[in-house]
Chains A and B, each alone.
Chain A
Amino acid sequence: MRVGVPRALLYHHYGECWTSFLEAVGIEPVVTEATTSDTVVHGAVLSDNETCLPVKVFAGHLLQLKENTDAVLVPRVVSQYDGMKACPKYLGLPDMARSFDPALPPVMAPVMDLADRRGRWAREWYQLARDTGASDHCADDAVKSLLRGLREVEAQPQGFSDLTPQAPRRDGEVVVADDPRSFTVGVAGHLYNVYDSRASLGMLGRIGQMGARIRTVDEVSRRDVRRQLKTLPRKIRWDFESRMVGAVLHWSRTRSVAGVIYVSSFACGPGSMIGALIEDQMNREDSVPLMSIILDEHSGEGGLITRIEAFLDMVRRSNQGTSEDEVRRGVAKR
């Protein structure tokens, strides 16, 4: 039996756990290739025009699994962290997947509710394993290793980069490693946008080429995030978005970055709210410069490059004093 796993949305967080679960119960996982322009176009045609870019990308990946799989795995992620709630799109993702195209293979939708420490949701994964013909013992082991894997992902904040080979973060670091005048910018965005080089139009690589070091949200430890979130008057209940806010506040308050680029997708619900929150909070604290970039399937590379360039130039100026000389040298070097 071949079960498809779309390389989209929370695959960028938990993909490895899901595929190894499938392998453990004797199913061959078929993970789609990295996003291409075709994926985005087909996905945008298939899904509703008011959904966000990542859901359209998801639809595109799903479409690739139409021919060569017997089922697709679309876990229903209810929450990722304690006391948090997922974005409604994750909650309804399997139902959306079922209504994209009637010809799609059946959708397996076990629940993943990581806030439930008692792990009652694991029963659904066990049942899934049994339904596909795994033995009692084998299903039990698979679920246990799934739980272990998820705990590791949560405990290890920098574990994502290996999951996403297309992430060009490392080149970015290499390019600027020996440039003493380089500075760091924080890129705050969902991992499925930032690490998907087509969705983000290769943003990380470009920032690296332009001579800045990059920090992403997953590098900030949970403890720092929690400490920063406590300073907000109202608790944010969205999983990853709360982490983004915590990370941005951590960067800006410790001045560990010289500027923050906030990346969100058009029609992202939680993103629209926390974008406004970050903007207001950083404004009140008179913090580092902030630029927000909204991605959708129409985003063009040209516009993105110009904006990033302008932003980095501005950060460079405010970072190094406004000596004209230095600025000119910086431009000439590039």
Chain B
Amino acid sequence: MNISVPRVGSMQYMAQDLCDRLGLGFVETPEYTERTVERGVAIAPEFVCFPMKVLLGSAIESLEAGADTLVTVAGYGACRFNYFAEIQRRILEREGYRFQIVVFDSPRDSLGDFYRNLRVVLRGSSVHFPGLVREMSLAVRKGWAYDEIGKRALAIRALEAEVGAVDAAIAECREILACARTRPQIEEAGKAIAERFDRVPVDEERPHIRVGITGEIMMSLEPYFNCDIERWLARNGAVIERSIYMSDLFTPRGRNPVSGRDDAEIGRVALPYLGHEIGGHGQINVAAAADYARRGFDAILHFFPFTCLPEIIAKMVFTRLAQDFDTPILSVSIDEQTGRAGLQTRLEALIDLAWSRHDRITQQKELDPLCCTKG
């Protein structure tokens, strides 16, 4: 059995680690390219959202690379992703591919289905059930550490004293983590990662702006879709925080250790703008944006695929949020037609706005050190 999972954030990393632990075959999903998008768009229904079109193209590529079992998740509530796996199966069957697909819903929805799906995946493995739970929890732990590397890199990339210092740290940390297997080893690796990042030479005095990135998970995590926004922002002097990490979503009971906001807090922070969970990650993003705005971030970026249901609601709510806190928020909708140049122009405009806001507030603080920032 050769398993393949969607390529979103650290999902590949966690799945590969888990397959190694269970002795299952794993096929890495190829990197996204223009060709992936084209092939997906060609066979996808016209009005499904962009990530689904891409995932279709991507599934074809991994099937061609030798995968025979597509494992995916569907626990996204009311968002259309909930039914995507079924549509994907039908389309790929129509196209003549032979494969099996295993769709994991949240175990909270149906523990029985979750268990049955596990049995299907485990057919090729010698690991027994209690062992499986342990290995799964270890793989998720490793995912936390992996995402933690990304989070720390975002926070200091704009301030690195010498070019390439952060990239070197990332590479080194990933190597440290790759060797970790047991729980003490992973915890050890976590400490080593923190230490390694503390040693990165940082120019604290350099003027910088703070930018929050929120949005639909695939668009905000995958550099292919957002034009490698993290590096671009860092080059323009932005320290970044991101609202969403893949390993958080696999953590039970909504603790979200990487982004550090648990589900109860998310509901509370989002409440003035969004009174209910709306499927997908809409609530998480609204909460994150409200939090960024309250903490005085200079700009907020919001990525979502064209006509994304939860994120459109978030976008409409953001107009109110932006007025309340006087924070510029740019919502960027992405699909197969998105041009890089157009995106670049809008991002530049946002960064200009953020810098002028930053300068204005710094000046105000110099004139009157006691005045707090607005909001």
Chain A interfacial positions (CB closer than 8 Å to B) = 47-48, 50-51, 76, 78, 85-89, 91-92, 94-96, 98-100, 102, 109, 111, 233-234, 236-238, 264, 266-277, 279-280, 294
Contacts and interface: CB of A to CB of B under 8 A. Distances in A.
A272 B90 contact: no
Contacts of A88: 78-79, 278-280, 282, 309-310, 313
Contacts of B79: 88, 269
B322 to A, nearest CB: 10
A236 B84 CA distance: 11
B268 to A, nearest CB: 15
Nearest to B304: A50
Contacts of B323: 102
B275 A273 contact: no
Given A99-B317, A234-B83, A274-B83, 19 more contacts: A48-B315, A85-B78, A88-B79, A89-B313, A92-B278, A94-B275, A95-B273, A95-B317, A99-B273, A102-B323, A234-B86, A267-B47, A269-B307, A270-B80, A270-B83, A272-B48, A272-B80, A273-B80, A280-B87
Interface string B254-265: 000000000000
Given A50-B333, A109-B275, A272-B45, A237 B312 contact: no
Nearest to B323: A102
A47 B317 CA distance: 11
Contacts of A266: 47
Contacts of B319: 99
Interface string B80-98: 1011111100110010000
26 contacts: A48-B312, A50-B307, A50-B315, A78-B276, A85-B77, A87-B309, A88-B79, A88-B279, A88-B313, A91-B78, A91-B277, A91-B278, A92-B274, A92-B276, A92-B282, A95-B274, A267-B312, A269-B80, A272-B45, A272-B46, A272-B47, A273-B87, A274-B83, A277-B86, A280-B90, A294-B47
A269 B309 contact: yes
Nearest to B80: A269
B306 interface: yes
Contact of A95 (B83, B87, B275): B275
A267 B335 CA distance: 13
A111 B277 CA distance: 12
Q: Which of B48, B274, B276 has the most CB of A within 10 A?
A: B276
Interface in B30-73: 45-49
Q: Which of B275, B307, B313, B315 has the most CB of A within 10 A?
A: B313
B103 interface: yes
B78 A277 contact: no
B317 A96 contact: yes
B279 A99 contact: no
Contacts of B333: 50
A233 B86 contact: yes
Contact of B275 (A47, A76, A100): A76
Contacts of B278: 88, 91-92
Contacts of B277: 91
A275 B47 CA distance: 9
Contacts of A233: 86
B375 to A, nearest CB: 17
A313 to B, nearest CB: 25
A129 B313 CA distance: 28
Contact of B83 (A92, A111, A236, A268): A236
Contacts of B276: 76, 78, 91-92, 95, 111
Q: Which of B49, B80, B94, B323 has the most CB of A within 10 A?
A: B80
Interface in B261-320: 273-280, 282, 306-307, 309-310, 312-313, 315-317, 319-320
A91 B83 contact: no
Q: Which of A76, A85, A99, A100 has the most CB of B within 10 A?
A: A99
Nearest to A100: B316
Q: Which of B85, B90, B91 has the most CB of A within 10 A?
A: B90
A273 B312 contact: no
B90 A99 contact: no
Contacts of A277: 83, 86-87, 90
A91 B333 CA distance: 21
B353 to A, nearest CB: 21
Nearest to A236: B83
Contacts of B315: 48, 50
Interface in B158-210: none
A48 B91 CA distance: 31
Contact of A234 (B85, B273, B312, B316): B85
A95 B278 CA distance: 11
Nearest to B310: A88
Contacts of A76: 275-276
B313 A92 contact: yes
Q: Which of A47, A78, A269, A272 has the most CB of B within 10 A?
A: A269
| Complex A-B, nearest 5 residue pairs according to Cβ-Cβ distance, in ascending order | A272-B47, A92-B313, A276-B45, A269-B309, A267-B307
